[in-house]
Structure 1
């Protein structure tokens, strides 16, 4: 009786199966795509649209101090809601080690002018020399039609 001897070692597959790695990478990509918009440290406001905005690249920096005024008159310093009466002291505390810094104001286009004026006055009484008002560039399609 003959015994058949198989050589199991010759059937080893040396190809790398990359399908699980691709699956994991796609899941990570989707997670990052969903989470990235949530990481913005900005209060959602619909800023005024203008034809010729002034570029203010310092407003996008991580250490920029931004005051946001919402449509309902709420005032935010960064992500924190503050009363207008406290705004000046909070800005003064943030500027203790950075004199001469510009404060940026992001106001909603439909916010009452009085709320924006009060916020700017509070910032100016804190000793801020420069206040930048942030706007958005108007789309070219909207410039031709009248509102």
Structure 2
């Protein structure tokens, strides 16, 4: 009487199937690619269109100071709505926190193309009164 041997242990497949993980990672990548531009510009404004706009890469950085004036005359510093008389105080407080000498102290103004010109000028005057020396006005490229 002979004993029968079973060779089932040799048939076990121990490879990891990474296809579902790759699928999930690609979906997450697409979601983050769609959401990231919306997070950067917290206040939605229609920028004036010019034929030869210069790309300002520093305006999209995390620590960039953005001031926005909307079509209806509301003023925002970052994503927070402020009164026009508070713009200078808020920006000077943010600039005071930037103690690094190499830190970018440029203020980026995003004004809606249909905003009241007087409101935009009042915001610029408030920034100049707060001691802002470098102010960049954001525009959009009309060639796009």
Aligned counterparts of 2:96 and 2:107: Cα–Cα separation in 1: 13
Equivalent residue, structure 2, for 1:101: 105
Q: Per the alignment, do residues 60 and 26 of structure 1 end up closer, same or farther by CA in structure 2, a change over 3 Å counting?
A: closer
1:135-146 superposed matches below 5 A: 135-139=139-143
Give secondary structure in 2 for the equivalent of 1:17.
coil
Q: Deviations over 1:45-76 (max 9, x none)?
A: 11000112244343233322111001111100
Contact 2:108 2:138 in 1 (8 A): yes
TM-score (norm 2): 0.80
How well do the aligned residues superpose, as a CA RMSD in angstroms? 2.6
Match of 1:126 in 2: 130
Structure 1 or 2, whichever has the larger Rg, is 1
TM-aligned CA distance change 1:85 to 1:49, over 3 Å: same
Between the aligned partners of 2:23 and 2:133, the Cα distance in structure 1 is 53
**Structure 2: distance between partners of 1:25 and 1:56:** 31
Stretches of 4+ aligned residues off by more than 6 angstroms: none
- How far the C-alpha of 1:84 sits from its partner, in A, is 0.1
In the other structure, the counterpart of 2:62 is 62
Runs of 5+ unmatched residues, structure 1: 141-147
Deviations 1:75-108 (A, max 9, x none): 0001110000111111121122559933221000
Q: Which residue of 1 aligns with 2:44?
A: 44
Q: Quick one: distance in 2 between partners of 1:75 and 1:129? A: 20
Task: Report the number of matched residues.
Answer: 140
Could you tell me which residue of structure 1 aligns to residue 76 of structure 2? 76
Q: Secondary structure at the match of 1:106?
A: strand
